Structure 1
Amino acid sequence: MAAAIATAGSCALTIFPAHANSFTEQFIDPEDNMFDVSAFLARGGFVPMPVIITEPAVDKGIGIVGQFVQGDPTTKNVRRTMVGAFITGNNSFGGGAMQTGAFRDGRVKYTVGIGGADLHLPVYPFGSSRSIEYNNVTGGVFGHLRMQVGETPWYVGPRFRYQASTISLDAEGRLGGILEEFAVEKRYSALGLMGTYDTRDNSVTPLQGIDAVMRYDLFDGAIGSDADFDLGMVALHGFQKLGDNGWSIGAMTRYDWSNGDTPFNMAPQISLRGISWGRYAGERASSTEIQLRKDFDNRWAGVAFAGYGTSVAGNSRIFDDSGPVHTYGVGVRYKIARKLGIDVGIDIARGPEETIWMLQFGHAWMRTME
């Protein structure tokens, strides 16, 4: 990630030579003369960032995200608008835009987004270790509004979701109609609720505090959905420093569930480092991970982690129970934005079937945290 940012900076120097010195200076921390993007991220305005995708389910890929910051990033009422696009090794591609913000001195928070993609993804029917590829041409919008409960760290509020999908199976992946009945064009509409609890010391790379997230979406024909089902998720993250010697520990546990006529591509799945997207799915899924971290100095840190998960097929006609799934791995971190406390790094994780390496920006559990 740092190398990609540096490359982008070199290109900008060629285009804008008159501002070369001021441009490069914002990537060097005067405190230790190390590469740092704190000044670049904190300046506000438009901030472009390259993205490297390491998910094996889409054969890796690249992308770019542009963030436009309105207001002082250190205040509670800052508004961020992000626009991005990606392409992967298996010819999946897509793009979207999202805005997050707050008002009333941070007591009301909102997120809205829109996006579309042409995705080639695997599904693993009946517990098989061999996948069937499917294509999902999809687009949708989503949003949620959260209001603070008194003076507590709790925020609760409504959410909505709309998604249109056209799914087709590869010609070699037909299973006598069992999966083909799902290969149709459908629209899904949901209304739901969301609650969060957050006492973390940093929203991107926390070392202390608790983060809890609860989501529930009800898809129903009464609000325009082509299928009736519900999806829910509860996740808890805890972080604790172990004295002043640089050691800290974190734990994450997550439970996903569904009821009704849930599309196979939206089914709950085990979400752990070392497991490809969609590998173990069903009507219920649980994921737990523990991470131990050692900060060697103000920049470099190492992590070791282990995970456990299960998925239960329930009434699903496609999936099978996963049984116990174990993962483990190690990683390295570099504090790329010291003043903001943001890390980047690489993890190498081993699951039951494969070893996966992943680039991380912020904490590895950011996909679940709010």
Structure 2
Amino acid sequence: MSLVNLSHVCSHLQNASLARLGLTSIPYTKLHLSLALLLHKQGFLSQVKLGGASPPAACFPPQAQPDNHRITSAPHTNRDPRSGEAALHELVYRKRSEQDLREEGFGDEAVEFALQHRQLSKGQLERDGWDAKALDFLLEHGQKPPQQLEEEGFDQTAISIIARHSLQDAMAAVREALHRDGLIEDQLSTTQIEHRLRTHLRTTGFPRETLAYFAGPAHSFATPRHLANDGITLQAMGLDIDSQPITTLPPSSRDPDALESESAITRANRASRRLWLGLKYSSDGTSVLSKARMVSKPTKRIWLDAWDLGKVVRGSNSGEVRGMGRVGEVMAVSTDRGVMEARECVERRVGGMVLCRIW
């Protein structure tokens, strides 16, 4: 982990915001990618795209006329008519089957790519509301024994879901949280207990397989609406990058030299790959990201446990780390579970090295 390079990234983002740039790039490393995804999740960045020395065509809206004629990506129809993106386009938009793709000459790798990305991700299923369906099912049938569930006609998958997400364990966690807050279960109404139970289960989350079960085959696969709004999720360095579009771009945005896709990372081009970030501004021109400052330094790395992070999040100082008192301020922490925001670390009770703070 290079804190020197991370400090350069923080300075660059701050200077890019002062210069009112709409698009900028940073070197492609796992740490930079983790921080960029965190800032995108927190609302500081409008987009995170993989690209080369020039911005990828996906950074520009389809109706735009980019003045950069060295675009590093081209639509799949121009790049490779038998690519994985092309196979996915055929599956979703033209309703082709796997057998049709193989008969048309698509290779095993392209077909596998299309079948994998045709399935809706966990986040997409949650946005479609299937986590609420799973919650309702657990609260209604979670306390029934397996024999009764079989008699009522539930299959083994539903029974295993109830066994995996035990209401007894969830209720025990709710009681523990009430005890920490100095409350007693008898003091709360049934509606309040159910609300806390729902909040706990929603925070714990459901795996994609559970959400896909409740969605069913008709709603667990991507539609043209999903691809247009959400794009696909690509994996880079073990991290998921959401909202990577595969839309066909107009000729004005196409690469004249038919260079490779921004999503293609190989040993030969990895050193030249960059992360292209879209900066956000308010209606009056004020930058959403105004400051980005390091907390840990190469010569002095600062580690905080969950308790100390809780003090910082609530506005109190912890050692040399000042409390978070600015509106919209976030703090990036490197943990054994990846780069996380300080509030999420407190919620999950994990500590780590404090990297930087952004507001």
TM-score (norm 1): 0.21
Task: Name whichever structure is richer in helix by fraction.
Answer: 2
RCO higher in 1 or 2 (8 Å CA, sep ≥ 6)? 2
* Higher Rg: 2
Task: Name whichever structure is richer in strand by fraction.
Answer: 1
